[in-house]
Amino acid sequence: MNIHLTSYGQGTPVVFFHGWGFDQQIWMPLIADLSMSYRIFLVDLPGFGFTPIMDWDAFKAQLLGELPQHFAVVGWSLGGLYAQRLAFEEAKRVSALMSIASSPRFIEDPTWPAVSKKVFTQFYDNLSQDIEGTLKDFLSLQLNKNQISLHLGKIPSQAGLEAGLKVLDEWDLRDQLKNFTNPACFLFGRLDPITPARLMNTMKMVYPHFNYVLFKRSAHMPFLSHKDLFIDELRRFI
């Protein structure tokens, strides 16, 4: 039961966590630009890619054993939840947190304008019926006319999807985030239907000490649809 992790480049260590339904391959278009300045660690989250399903404690213990003493962490969507939790619990090792199209609570409630459970369940149902086709359609919609060569990676199992869905549904890290004092940056896409941009305004009020960036023409994948802008923001922050 080993996690799957690969590393590239040299320089400041930065760990990348992918989103639900994907694996570490989603970050590959960034490697050539970043590997001269950063040592990049790409991680398959539990139940995705080549990392088996495991609980948080087992995942964290294995991961920390593979990483340098100090590192920054970047997480997209589901990976943003993992990145935030790791940053809270290991603040002495995580030097900076960057969260992309993610927040400490994925599902909406009366005080939190996130995605409705109905919308998310519908996407999950579509994914369950045709995993590869739905992921390709999702990528095509996100990237619009951007010509990016991207390999989908290992198609997730039904059990892996369900394990990831449980994290998205159940994890609520809002209180922990209030106590986080290390540098943090939250990136949103104005056109994102999954992590709505209006959530950024709520977070600014609750967590005014963090950095916030809005990609005005991006949806849920600004690191691919607006790669150069994203890389500029990452270099500025980390």
- 85-130 confidence digits (pLDDT tens): 999 999 999 999 999 999 999 999 999 999 888 887 887 787 778 8
CB 100 within 8 A of CB 74: yes
Does 149 participate in catalysis according to the annotation?
A: no
Which of 77, 102, 218, 225 does the annotation list as catalytic? 77
Which of 192, 218, 225, 226 does the annotation list as catalytic? 192
pLDDT in tens, 123-141: 778 777 888 887 877 777 6
The DSSP H or E segment spanning 186 is: strand 184-189
Does 225 participate in catalysis according to the annotation?
A: no
Parallel, antiparallel, or unpaired for β 5-9 and 38-43?
A: antiparallel
Q: Which tops the pLDDT comparison, 210 or 137?
A: 210
Which of 18, 99, 218, 220 does the annotation list as catalytic? 220
Does 226 participate in catalysis according to the annotation?
A: no
Q: Which residues contact 17 (CB under 8 A, 6 or more apart)?
A: 43, 45, 73, 74, 75, 76, 78, 79, 80, 82, 83
Q: Which tops the pLDDT comparison, 11 or 21?
A: 11
**Fold classified for 5-237:** Rossmann fold (3.40.50)
The DSSP H or E segment spanning 225 is: helix 222-225
The residue written with tokens 């997730």 in the block is 156
Domain-wise residue ranges, the chain: 5-237
The DSSP H or E segment spanning 123 is: helix 117-129
